[in-house]
Amino acid sequence: MPERKPVTLHRLQDMHKSGEKIAMLTCYDAAFASVLDEAGVDILLVGDSLGTVLQAEATTTPVRLDAMEYHTRCVARGNKTAWLLGDLPFGSYHASPEQAWHSSLALMQAGAHMVKLECGAWTAPTVRFLTERGVPVCAHLGFTPQTVSALGGYKVQGRGEAAAQVKAQAQAMVEAGAQMLLFEMIPADLGREITAWSPVPVIGIGAGVGCSGQVLVLHDMLDITPGRRPRFVKNFMQGASSVQDAVRRYVAEVKAGTFPDESLHAF
């Protein structure tokens, strides 16, 4: 098998335009970074989900920037070719665009190629401030875990009349310079519609198969997360011979457009 070339933002944009699916998984350490990279995962997300997965917090809200910087550095050391995306945690970009810049600088210097922040109408100036200064931004829309309390719990976003607001937010983020969108827990038809319109890649988690690509929390798809998993998660360890095999199966199903299927997305 030929050696994989490093995944770049231009490559991801070309994949979106051509319809080639993008496979993303969360990753928090060097060992898993190497496994995921060798299995062909396109994007490694150092997610603030490490708060619930690694730190046993009830939500992602307590995660600090120094923890994100540490885990980003670990993943960067184990990764060779995948695109590396780092989460800006709660409170690290809310005060001002300047605060977001300093937080992004910490993750970029730790090895991230792009930062992700949970967005709404109020974040457009921040996204513009970052992208004008050379920081690639992924805008997280739909259900935003950092504000789960304000949203009233883990609820699907963008149903019915609320779809117009989600679409308007996506357009505002693209106009502000976001080079990638990530939608969580929105109706599949809305995910498909936005992806067809969007000039940038659209990654879905609980957003239907019509997105440019998919992301899952690594520990969820390996079935090692305690408690109940979200219904859009599939256990890829079932029937797999190893962790590496499970990750390769995930990549293959995302690329083939068979994950997620309708039984895993009933929003």
Annotated ligand binding at 29? The verdict is no
Using the structure block, give the residue that is written with the tokens 């989460």: 87
3-class SS of residue 87:
strand
* Nearest alpha-carbon partner for 205 in 249, 147, 134, 156: 156
What is the C-alpha R_g of the chain?
A: 17
230 within 8 A of 49, measured Cβ to Cβ: no
Is 184 a catalytic site residue? yes
49 is in an annotated binding site: yes
Residues 6+ apart with CB under 8 A from 262: 188
Instruction: Report whether 253 belongs to an annotated binding site.
Output: no
Q: Which residue has the tokens 């200064």?
A: 133
Q: Which helix (H) or strand (E) holds 16?
A: helix 9-18
CA distances from 69 to 16, 21, 65 (A): 29, 28, 6
Considering 69, 161, 184, 253, which one is annotated as catalytic? Answer: 184
Q: Report whether 111 contacts 84 (CB < 8 A).
A: yes
175 known member of a binding site: no
98 is in an annotated binding site: no
List the binding residues for Mg(2+): 48, 87, 118
Task: Tell me which residues are annotated as active site.
Answer: 184
List the binding residues for 3-methyl-2-oxobutanoate: 48-49, 87, 116
List the binding residues: 48-49, 87, 116, 118
